[in-house]
Amino acid sequence: MDNASLTAPDLADIEALALAARDGLPPDFRRPAMDVALRVEDFASDALLDAMEIEDPFGLTGLYEGIPLIEKSSFDQPHGPDTIWLFRRPILDEWAERGDITLGNLISHVYVHELAHHFGWSDGDIATIDRWWE
């Protein structure tokens, strides 16, 4: 195989795999998950990494930004949509280091983990959706 002709998945590829993970959720979770915006970037911003006290930009594969449903109130003023951020380069780096799972499975895991923050899920709740946790 000629590796010179291979290219890494781009932002759109990562987004497509995350949307496939969302579409594979059970119906009770799929519909509300569609209300959470999805953004894919190569890395988290320097400001975000600084705020989270993360020195290595490869140390953050995903992030939920918003108010979890179990904490939302009718008095909350929206500052934008709840958003799941996926960071392509750290995801690809973890995938290459692991070498034992598909990229789709890793993206699904990161996506579901971030979605868990939105829903306020426990580890037990996550395990019913994402078998990674078993």
**Average model confidence (pLDDT) for the chain?**
87
* Residue 55, pLDDT above cutoff 90: yes
Q: Is pLDDT of 133 > 50?
A: no
Interior angle at CA 109, CA 124 and CA 56, nearest 5: 115
Q: Give pLDDT tens digits for 58-77.
A: 999 999 998 777 777 666 66
Q: Where are the beta strands (DSSP E) in 1-101?
A: 37-41, 62-65, 83-87
- For the chain, domains (ranges, CATH) are 7-133 (3.30.2010.20)
Global pTM reads: 0.86
Dihedral sign for Cα 67, 69, 71, 76, please: positive
